[in-house]
């Protein structure tokens, strides 16, 4: 129970809310605005450099063997999710720019830390979860900007896709730091492994800075005059519906493919999540500063909901696993483990 509560009241999530409050009350203005934006850009570069440095080549080669599982995660993350997003934003709900933000969240890769943590709690295949989450984030560096260009009109200030300036920003702020970090892994990999906690603080600090600057710029442009409480309520409801559909889809897909229980858990947790850590800096690169706050607001709402729901679900799977080990079957469970 304490672990479940800890996920629901994660200090980082509280810090995110405080960053939004701070940006709403004291947004960066005047001469401080470009300084804050420059710091946020530097944070994005550092964030992706560290992601590259943490990526293990061994994990890539080991994970490549389970094509059925990882292919399913990628298909749900970058095909099923966007299709559901397109269907939802087509509804006449009066969401305005929040609809674009909601679609943007469906184009993002999966989370890494929480997907692996929930898989471990649920007694799933942790090694496969590491590979699936890693593949998803690696693919997302290329696929998310491409999907934004195809599906979101007006991204980065253009009328039909990502502009040349945005492409340059993607290469210089995302791809180059990521590739450089991965290339330097033989030299700095041991340091990264020894200082995971410190680097995690740098990771989260960069995200908080981007959130503050992004929301601050949006507040200066009248964010809270354009977004109503009713719209936020609708986004919250839609996030719950979207997550419920995807959780059902991942469960059904796992059974249809005949995946073992441990891999079905991986598919459910890696396939149903969207990464705040990747989404916030990507939004800062793909969209004008004044639009980023609106773009990431649905993502922040969905992220909180997915943590709470998946914490409960992981605990349920863990208890189910304990019952299975003791030979106690829940109602409706087949008698033979091979039939599951």
Q: What percent of the chain has pLDDT over 90?
A: 23
Q: What is the per-residue pLDDT across 186-212, written as a single tens digit (0 to 9) for each?
A: 888 788 778 777 777 777 787 778 778
Residue 77 has pLDDT above 90, yes or no: yes
Domain ranges in the chain?
A: 2-318
* Confidence (pTM): 0.73
Residues whose CB falls within 8 Å of the CB of residue 326, separated by 6 or more in sequence, listed in order: none
Q: What is the mean pLDDT of the chain?
A: 79
CA-to-CA distance for 118 and 310, rounded, in angstroms? Answer: 7
Q: Output the pLDDT for position 263.
A: 92
Q: What is the per-residue pLDDT across 155-193, written as a single tens digit (0 to 9) for each?
A: 444 444 455 565 666 677 777 887 888 888 888 878 877
Q: What is the per-residue pLDDT across 312-328, written as a single tens digit (0 to 9) for each?
A: 888 888 888 777 666 65
Residues whose CB falls within 8 Å of the CB of residue 209, separated by 6 or more in sequence, listed in order: 36, 39, 40, 43
71-to-47, 65, 76, 77, 257 alpha-carbon distances in Å = 26, 11, 9, 10, 11
CA-to-CA distance for 299 and 71, rounded, in angstroms? Answer: 24
| CATH number of the structural domain 2-318 | 1.20.1530.20
Residue 335 has pLDDT above 50, yes or no: no
Q: Output the pLDDT for position 79.
A: 96
Using alpha carbons, select from 276, 304, 280 the residue that is nearest to residue 293. Answer: 280
């Amino acid at each position: 129970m304490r672990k479940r509560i800890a996920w629901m009241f994660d200090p980082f999530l509280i810090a995110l809310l405080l960053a939004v409050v701070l940006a709403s009350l004291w947004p960066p203005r005047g001469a401080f605005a470009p300084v804050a934006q420059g710091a946020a850009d530097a944070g994005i570069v550092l964030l992706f450099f560290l992601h590259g440095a943490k990526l293990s080549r061994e994990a890539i080669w080991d994970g490549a063997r389970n094509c059925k599982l990882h292919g399913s995660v990628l298909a749900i993350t970058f095909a099923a999710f966007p299709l559901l997003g397109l269907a939802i934003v087509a509804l006449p709900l009066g969401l305005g720019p929040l609809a674009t933000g909601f679609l943007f969240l469906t184009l993002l890769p999966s989370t890494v830390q929480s997907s692996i943590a929930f898989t471990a709690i649920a007694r799933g295949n942790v090694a496969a979860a590491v590979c699936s989450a890693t593949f998803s984030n690696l693919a997302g560096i290329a696929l998310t900007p491409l999907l934004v260009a195809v599906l979101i009109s007006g991204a980065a200030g253009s009328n039909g896709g990502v502009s040349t300036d945005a492409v340059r920003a993607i290469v210089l702020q995302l791809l180059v730091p990521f590739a450089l970090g991965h290339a330097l892994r033989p030299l700095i990999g041991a340091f990264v492994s020894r200082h995971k906690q410190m680097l995690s603080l740098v990771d989260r600090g960069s995200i908080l800075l981007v959130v503050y600057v992004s929301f601050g710029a949006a507040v200066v442009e009248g964010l809270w005059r354009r977004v109503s409480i009713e719209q936020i309520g609708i986004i919250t409801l839609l996030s719950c519906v979207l997550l419920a559909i995807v959780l059902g889809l991942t469960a059904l897909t796992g059974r249809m493919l005949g995946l073992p229980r441990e891999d079905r858990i991986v598919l459910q947790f890696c396939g149903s999540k969207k990464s705040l850590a990747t989404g916030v800096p990507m939004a800062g690169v793909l969209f004008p500063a004044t639009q980023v706050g609106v773009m990431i607001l649905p993502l922040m709402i969905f992220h909180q909901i997915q943590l709470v729901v998946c914490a409960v679900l992981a605990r349920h799977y863990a208890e189910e696993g304990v019952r299975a080990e003791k030979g106690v079957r829940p109602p409706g469970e087949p008698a033979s483990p091979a039939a599951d």
